[in-house]
Amino acid sequence: MPLKFYLIIITLLTFLAFGWDKRLAKNGKKRIAESALLMLTFLGGTFGALIGMTFFRHKYAKKTFILKLVLVVAVQLALIFLLKEHLTVQ
């Protein structure tokens, strides 16, 4: 149960971070670092990042960011696979 709450919270925080960064970009203010957005994504906010990118139409044109996001998701999937393999009782 705590994992569900954590994932809900990190997803919401990541979504809000993408929205806030878009707002800062529109107003020409200092932005949230891409590394911070990617870290939130890596820490479990993948769905928040994807929904935030779609909803706010943010970061789609930046191919380097998209590549980094894909790498983050690939690492997450690899970690999930490895954990599943090592934690599964046979």
Distance CA 13, CA 11 (A): 5
Distance CA 15, CA 54 (A): 10
Please enumerate, as own/partner, the contacts of 26-34 that have beta carbons within 8 Å and a separation of 24 or more: 34/65, 34/68
pLDDT in tens, 9-42: 999 999 999 999 999 999 999 999 999 999 999 9
pLDDT in tens, 39-74: 999 999 999 999 999 999 988 888 999 999 999 999
Q: What is the pTM assigned to this prediction?
A: 0.88
Element (H, E) at 86: helix 63-87
Return the residue matching tokens 């891409």: 34
